[in-house]
A and B are shown apart, each in its own frame.
Chain A
Amino acid sequence: MPDKSDAPQNIDPLEPDGYKYGFITDVEADTAPKGLNEEIIAFISHKKNEPAFMLEWRLKAYRHWQGMKEPHWANFQYAPIDYQDIRYYSAPKKKGTGPQSLDDVDEEVVKAFEKLGIPLTEQKRLAGVAVDAVFDSVSVGTTHQKDLEKLGIIFCPISEALRKCPELVQKYMGSVVPYNDNFFAALNSAVFTDGSFCYIPEGVRCPVDLSTYFRINAKETGQFERTLIIAEKGAYVSYLEGCTAPVRDENQLHAAVVELIALDEAQIKYSTVQNWYAGDRDGRGGIYNFVTKRGRCAGVNSKISWTQVEAGSAITWKYPSVILKGDNSVGEFYSVALTNNRMNADTGTKMIHMGRNTRSTIISKGISSDFSHNSYRGLVKIMPSAENARNFSQCDSMLVGNNCSANTFPRIEVKNSSATLEHEATTSKISAEQVFYLQSRGLNKEEAIALVINGFCKDVFKTLPLEFAVEAVRLLEMKLENSVG
């Protein structure tokens, strides 16, 4: 890879492994020294100008984390992570000292986002979607903020929210994913640097999709973002998340936490297209993606819906879950996870039914090719209080080639006999007969495979916002281009 960001050939789709987003942006960065200790945590908190409670919470998490063990129950192995060899803060240098407006953002960073299809400037910004752009450890800009403010919607970097509305952050942060929830969540709680904060007030339907685009750029740096979305009574929001990173030979750690809270009658729809750099053909480099995402349907008739297209990262460890606390609340999980080369994905969901008449739907589509491993891991738990709970799960795996593997680890715990649960699972292969059939109708091999894959993923893609669905389809086609021999 050339080192300069402005060379257009950097996004040549014909580069090895077809990863289009592997360029590196040359920016002056403000970075913390490598390593993790209480001083570094204080440094981060100070950089962000945080209220005192935040630092205390971070330190509490850090001290707890020190006593925790990295979990290794997932269905993959990886080289040990040296947590002292990671930089926990890296930010493009600011021009001035005053409040950051979009015009003050480093031109190279703006260019980098434009290259990723995310224009940030006022003139070029995307019409139907408000974007918060996160570059390494900081948010570099958020579009449409003023228009949203008129409706009382707060959409800003979480570090800004800590200054703007600390009481909301204090009330909800850690309420769904506590600081001691798991190893990576505890690490994130100690060192999280940025991410988005969304607050939708009572009765407001957010008129545009809110979106965060995460970009890892700096070397030897981890990204630890934290996202918090609160939908008040009767509110509605659709949130999109996209991620990419440069091609680098060493592994980089990404450990995020996302918390969603839906109060009475509120609805949150959260969609992700994850395309972190996945390493090369031999499994060198790539992002380690250890993410805790969880939503709480706190109110009656509330609904939380996760849709994810996981197509990147050397390792994915991610289980977007819903706690169905409110009566009649609804949780949904729609997932397409694609692995190729030497990628490992262990992903799924947890649906914890507590309220009466709660319903959940799980549709998971795993596609594995080359030498990759793809596992679905899920838990459906019906608590004694969850009268008449219902769950429907469908876990389908598709194998492309003979050297990959697919696994499903579904777990069901039922503590109330009025529950109704259905589980369906299939494993299939793209058969040579399917490809020949489509080829004999004039489609070339790539088109044939894309059509089969699209059909396989249809139930998930139809839950994505349209442009996102188009992007997801293209992404999968690109990834599978060389996989069916």
Chain B
Amino acid sequence: MLNIRDLYASVDGHQILKGLDLSVKAGEVHAIMGPNGSGKSTLSKIVAGHPQYTVDRGAIEFEINGAMTDIAAMEPDLRAREGIFLAFQYPVEIPGVPTSEFLRSSYNALARHHGLAEMDPLDFDPFIREKMKVLEMDEKYIDRAVNVDFSGGEKKRNEILQMAVLNPRLAVLDETDSGLDVDSMKIVAHGVNVLRTKRNAMVVITHYQRLLNYIKPDIVHVLYQGRIIKTAGPELALEIEEKGYDWLIA
């Protein structure tokens, strides 16, 4: 569903990704690990289409209507409508906009794109409350402004809620575990596990192994200096937990 080949990408004139290859199939969960500065966040931004990040070389292909399509030049909103979702490491505040209204606008933007019925607030309210129940989330914050005065944990949970509402085919979770205590992490991981199906895929980007105790990956990659330097099964994560990254880099 996602195929990245020999990708070189930069931000503000600095080349961060240098020949990255990654192939993800439906039903798979990939973990991408790596030390700070290895290019993990750049990868997530490039897949979602952040305008400040540019593709210098190589290809990013995503399956659209059964065909692998180069999305490198595609606007981020179009990528989202085609089923790519990025859970942000630092979710952005939108003052004055209630979370429920924001989620409904997003949902309807996707529904319109796929020729499905849009929801009015009366339809949407039970829909969103059901999602929150499944994710074991507190209902109180759907009336609050998007991410404003949310704690770190609430922001991350809000990302997972958005993922549940938009039901993406490919979800990229960018360091969703950073800044979370164990309880919040369990809730977030539970949400991810609930949303995991045979038809969608997830790329979990993390610095630490601990999130992978709760979200079991099929494949683990190590990203270093802008390239994938090792790919293996879940046991790789445990090995990194024990030995750190040095043995891979050296």
Instruction: Report which A residues bind B (CB closer than 8 A).
Output: 431-434, 436-445, 447-448, 451-452, 454-459
B95 (CB) vs chain A CBs: closest residue: A455
Q: Looking at B75, B86, B93, B96, which has the most chain A CB atoms within 10 Å of its CB?
A: B96
Given A442-B113, A443-B106, A447-B109, are A433 and B95 also a contact pair (CB < 8 Å)? no
> How far does the alpha carbon of A18 sit from the alpha carbon of B109 in the complex, in Å?
24
With a cutoff of 8 Å between Cβ atoms, the chain B residues found around residue A441 in the complex are 77, 80, 102, 106, 109, 162, 166
- B202 interface residue, CB < 8 Å from A? no
- Chain B at the A interface: SS class: mixed
A365 (CB) vs chain B CBs: closest residue: B96
Evaluate contact between B75 and A444: CB separation under 8 angstroms. Answer: yes
> How far does the alpha carbon of A458 sit from the alpha carbon of B95 in the complex, in Å?
9
Evaluate contact between A444 and B94: CB separation under 8 angstroms. Answer: no
Given A432-B52, A441-B80, are A456 and B102 also a contact pair (CB < 8 Å)? no
Evaluate contact between A454 and B96: CB separation under 8 angstroms. Answer: yes
Evaluate contact between A437 and B88: CB separation under 8 angstroms. Answer: yes
Instruction: Report which B residues bind A (CB closer than 8 A).
Output: 48-52, 75-77, 79-81, 85-86, 88, 91-97, 102, 105-106, 109-110, 113, 145-146, 162, 166
Minimum CB–CB distance for B112 against chain A, Å: 9
> How far does the alpha carbon of A240 sit from the alpha carbon of B195 in the complex, in Å?
50
> How far does the alpha carbon of A133 sit from the alpha carbon of B85 in the complex, in Å?
51
With a cutoff of 8 Å between Cβ atoms, the chain A residues found around residue B166 in the complex are 441-442
**Within the complex, which residue of B50, B77, B91 is in contact with A442, where a contact is CB–CB below 8 Å?**
B77
Minimum CB–CB distance for A427 against chain B, Å: 13
Evaluate contact between A443 and B92: CB separation under 8 angstroms. Answer: no
Evaluate contact between A436 and B94: CB separation under 8 angstroms. Answer: no
Given A437-B88, A437-B91, A454-B97, are A445 and B77 also a contact pair (CB < 8 Å)? yes
With a cutoff of 8 Å between Cβ atoms, the chain A residues found around residue B93 in the complex are 434
> How far does the alpha carbon of A361 sit from the alpha carbon of B49 in the complex, in Å?
43
Evaluate contact between A433 and B92: CB separation under 8 angstroms. Answer: yes
Evaluate contact between B81 and A442: CB separation under 8 angstroms. Answer: yes
4 other contacts beyond A432-B52, A441-B109, A455-B146, with CB at 8 A cut-off? A436-B48, A440-B49, A442-B80, A442-B110
A433 (CB) vs chain B CBs: closest residue: B92
Q: Looking at A436, A448, A457, A458, which has the most chain B CB atoms within 10 Å of its CB?
A: A436
A451 (CB) vs chain B CBs: closest residue: B97
Minimum CB–CB distance for B80 against chain A, Å: 4
With a cutoff of 8 Å between Cβ atoms, the chain B residues found around residue A448 in the complex are 77
With a cutoff of 8 Å between Cβ atoms, the chain A residues found around residue B95 in the complex are 455-456
With a cutoff of 8 Å between Cβ atoms, the chain A residues found around residue B77 in the complex are 439-445, 448
With a cutoff of 8 Å between Cβ atoms, the chain B residues found around residue A438 in the complex are 94, 102, 106
With a cutoff of 8 Å between Cβ atoms, the chain B residues found around residue A439 in the complex are 49, 75-77, 80
With a cutoff of 8 Å between Cβ atoms, the chain A residues found around residue B85 in the complex are 440
Evaluate contact between B145 and A455: CB separation under 8 angstroms. Answer: yes
> How far does the alpha carbon of A433 sit from the alpha carbon of B86 in the complex, in Å?
13
Minimum CB–CB distance for B172 against chain A, Å: 10
A-B contact pairs, 15 of them (CB 8 A): A432-B51, A434-B93, A437-B88, A438-B94, A440-B77, A440-B85, A441-B162, A441-B166, A442-B166, A445-B75, A448-B77, A454-B96, A457-B96, A458-B97, A459-B96
> How far does the alpha carbon of A135 sit from the alpha carbon of B193 in the complex, in Å?
65
Evaluate contact between B96 and A443: CB separation under 8 angstroms. Answer: no
Minimum CB–CB distance for B119 against chain A, Å: 14
Evaluate contact between A447 and B94: CB separation under 8 angstroms. Answer: no
> How far does the alpha carbon of A242 sit from the alpha carbon of B88 in the complex, in Å?
43
Evaluate contact between B109 and A442: CB separation under 8 angstroms. Answer: yes
> How far does the alpha carbon of A358 sit from the alpha carbon of B233 in the complex, in Å?
72
A450 (CB) vs chain B CBs: closest residue: B105
Minimum CB–CB distance for B82 against chain A, Å: 9
Minimum CB–CB distance for A227 against chain B, Å: 32
- 10 closest A-B pairs by CB: A455-B96, A455-B97, A442-B109, A437-B92, A441-B106, A442-B80, A439-B76, A458-B96, A439-B77, A442-B110
> How far does the alpha carbon of A434 sit from the alpha carbon of B90 in the complex, in Å?
11
Minimum CB–CB distance for A107 against chain B, Å: 40
Evaluate contact between B109 and A436: CB separation under 8 angstroms. Answer: no
> How far does the alpha carbon of A456 sit from the alpha carbon of B145 in the complex, in Å?
11
> How far does the alpha carbon of A432 sit from the alpha carbon of B45 in the complex, in Å?
13
With a cutoff of 8 Å between Cβ atoms, the chain A residues found around residue B80 in the complex are 439-442
> How far does the alpha carbon of A243 sit from the alpha carbon of B70 in the complex, in Å?
49
Evaluate contact between A456 and B96: CB separation under 8 angstroms. Answer: yes
A396 (CB) vs chain B CBs: closest residue: B95
With a cutoff of 8 Å between Cβ atoms, the chain B residues found around residue A455 in the complex are 94-97, 145-146
> How far does the alpha carbon of A452 sit from the alpha carbon of B75 in the complex, in Å?
19
> How far does the alpha carbon of A448 sit from the alpha carbon of B109 in the complex, in Å?
11
Q: Looking at A438, A442, A447, A451, which has the most chain B CB atoms within 10 Å of its CB?
A: A442
Minimum CB–CB distance for B33 against chain A, Å: 23
Minimum CB–CB distance for A336 against chain B, Å: 12
> How far does the alpha carbon of A437 sit from the alpha carbon of B92 in the complex, in Å?
7
Q: Looking at B79, B106, B145, which has the most chain A CB atoms within 10 Å of its CB?
A: B106
Minimum CB–CB distance for A66 against chain B, Å: 48
A443 (CB) vs chain B CBs: closest residue: B109
Minimum CB–CB distance for A464 against chain B, Å: 15
> How far does the alpha carbon of A194 sit from the alpha carbon of B146 in the complex, in Å?
47
With a cutoff of 8 Å between Cβ atoms, the chain A residues found around residue B109 in the complex are 441-444, 447
> How far does the alpha carbon of A447 sit from the alpha carbon of B94 in the complex, in Å?
13
Evaluate contact between A440 and B86: CB separation under 8 angstroms. Answer: yes
A459 (CB) vs chain B CBs: closest residue: B96
Evaluate contact between B76 and A436: CB separation under 8 angstroms. Answer: yes
With a cutoff of 8 Å between Cβ atoms, the chain B residues found around residue A459 in the complex are 96
Evaluate contact between B92 and A434: CB separation under 8 angstroms. Answer: yes
Evaluate contact between B88 and A452: CB separation under 8 angstroms. Answer: no
> How far does the alpha carbon of A447 sit from the alpha carbon of B76 in the complex, in Å?
13
> How far does the alpha carbon of A211 sit from the alpha carbon of B227 in the complex, in Å?
66
B92 (CB) vs chain A CBs: closest residue: A437
Minimum CB–CB distance for B149 against chain A, Å: 14
Minimum CB–CB distance for A14 against chain B, Å: 21
> How far does the alpha carbon of A456 sit from the alpha carbon of B96 in the complex, in Å?
6
Evaluate contact between A451 and B92: CB separation under 8 angstroms. Answer: no
A426 (CB) vs chain B CBs: closest residue: B95
> How far does the alpha carbon of A431 sit from the alpha carbon of B50 in the complex, in Å?
13
